[in-house]
Amino acid sequence: MKTRITELLQIEYPIIQGGMAWVAEHNLAAAVSNAGGLGIIGAANAPAEWVRQEIHKAREITDRPIGVNVMLLSPYADEVAQVLVEENIPVITTGAGNPGKYMDMWKRNGSKVIPVVASVALARMMEKGGADAVIAEGTESGGHIGASTTMTLVPQVVDAVKIPVIAAGGIGDGRGMAAAFMLGADAVQMGTRFVVAKESICHQNYKDRIIKAKDIDSAVTGRTHGHPVRQLRNQMTKEYLQKEKDGVPFEELELLTVGALRNAVVEGDVKNGTVMAGQIAGMIKKEQTCKEMIEELMSETTELLQKAGTRYE
């Protein structure tokens, strides 16, 4: 399947793995790239030297391109941005902010820069600033989210910019992927489904929570202080949401989440940890290798697109 994104990024399939904190490390990224998608190392809040090591380790497992996601709220964002230049990273995605100040240095070095946007305004600004594509991420996603749904955001971004658009948020199978193409996207980015990949180093308790999740099992914390985060409901979200209702100050709410994502992903504490996952968790029922996932996604998607083609001919 050829799209503007497979051409731009020199990949076989239009599937990009999300840059999930703690989960998107070298094993997962290399497995996705080896399976023909684009694997991403999530720099998240990690120091720049960790990111460099992960890039080196991924390169031992795959010769194919891998990308890095820069989480712009990270205290290490400046140093990470520099490491990506030194390591000649071919594809850089960004999240949780405006990457404008890094754009020139990355573009001068030949990287393809693909910011996540949650609005048409930011998509337009990124195109003007030289972005090669944008990821339009709907509120169905796990982690830090914007307000618009994928269904409404993707076509509006597609209409607003000429660069390719990658759809993200709530996509977990061939139906979602085919729908994204119908909305005008040239590729999809998926996170939650890859969390349960066999190559994902995420703790089994976390994977099991996703596999057992029902459609309405996610909750959004942090709406009151402007940093909404989607995660699966547990003891921690219950306390957090009650405290938000009670008007507890941000600094006290923060105490509930310090180290909580690591506790869930690495230690398997799915009761008091942060179990970030998208609304699609309810549909994810099995662990597979990245290759199995990507092959299944591609056969479902192409079949649906062919069917749609005949129906509307």
Question: 87-106 burial, b for 16+ CB within 10 Å, e for fewer?
Answer: eebbbbbbbbbebbebbeeb
Q: Does 144 bind ligand TUI (CB under 6 A)?
A: yes
Query: Which residues ranging from 249 to 278 are in contact with ligand TUI (CB under 6 A)?
Result: none
Q: How far is the CB of 211 from ligand TUI (least distance, A)?
A: 21
| 142 in Cβ contact with 193 (< 8 Å) | no
Q: Does 116 bind ligand TUI (CB under 6 A)?
A: yes
Q: What string of DSSP letters covers 74-120?
A: -TTHHHHHHHHHHTT-SEEEEESS--HHHHHHHHHTT-EEEEEESSH
Number of neighbours of residue 303 by Cβ within 10 angstroms: 12
Q: How far is the CB of 53 from ligand TUI (least distance, A)?
A: 20
Q: Which of 4, 3, 68, 83 is nearest to 33 (CA)?
A: 68
Q: Does 28 bind ligand TUI (CB under 6 A)?
A: no
Q: Does 170 bind ligand TUI (CB under 6 A)?
A: no
Q: Does 5 bind ligand TUI (CB under 6 A)?
A: no
Query: Which part of the chain contacts ligand TUI (CB under 6 A), choosing from 79-87, 139-147, 177-185, 206-214?
Result: 139-147
Query: Which part of the chain contacts ligand TUI (CB under 6 A), choosing from 53-61, 90-98, 102-110, 156-164?
Result: 90-98
Tell me, residue by residue from 44 to 83, as one string, x for binding to ligand TUI by CB under 6 A and - for no binding. Answer: x--------------------------x-x----------
Q: How far is the CB of 128 from ligand TUI (least distance, A)?
A: 13
Among 137, 140, 217, 287, the residue binding ligand TUI under the rule CB under 6 A is 137
3-state secondary structure of 55: helix
Query: Which part of the chain contacts ligand TUI (CB under 6 A), choosing from 23-31, 55-63, 76-84, 92-100?
Result: 92-100
Task: Specify the DSSP element, H or E, that contains 26.
Answer: helix 26-34
3-state secondary structure of 276: strand
Assigned token pair, 231:
């995660």
How many residues would you count in the chain? 313
In order of 45, 140, 149, 254, the CA distances from 257 in angstroms are: 14, 21, 26, 5
Residue 97 or 129: which CB sits closer to ligand TUI? 97
Q: How far is the CB of 137 from ligand TUI (least distance, A)?
A: 5
Taking the C-alpha atoms of residue 146 and residue 240, their distance in angstroms, rounded to an integer, is 19
Q: Does 97 bind ligand TUI (CB under 6 A)?
A: yes
Q: Does 98 bind ligand TUI (CB under 6 A)?
A: yes
Q: How far is the CB of 222 from ligand TUI (least distance, A)?
A: 7
Q: How far is the CB of 234 from ligand TUI (least distance, A)?
A: 16
Is the CA virtual torsion 39, 202, 171, 143 positive or negative? negative
Q: How far is the CB of 291 from ligand TUI (least distance, A)?
A: 26
Q: How far is the CB of 116 from ligand TUI (least distance, A)?
A: 4
Residue 16 or 298: which CB sits closer to ligand TUI? 16
Q: Region of 96 please: left (phi>0), alpha (psi -120 to 50) or beta.
A: left
Residue 65 neighbours by CB under 8 Å, 6+ apart: 9, 10, 11, 33, 38, 90, 91
Interface ranges with ligand TUI (CB under 6 A): 21, 44, 71, 73, 95-98, 116-118, 122, 137, 143-146, 227, 229
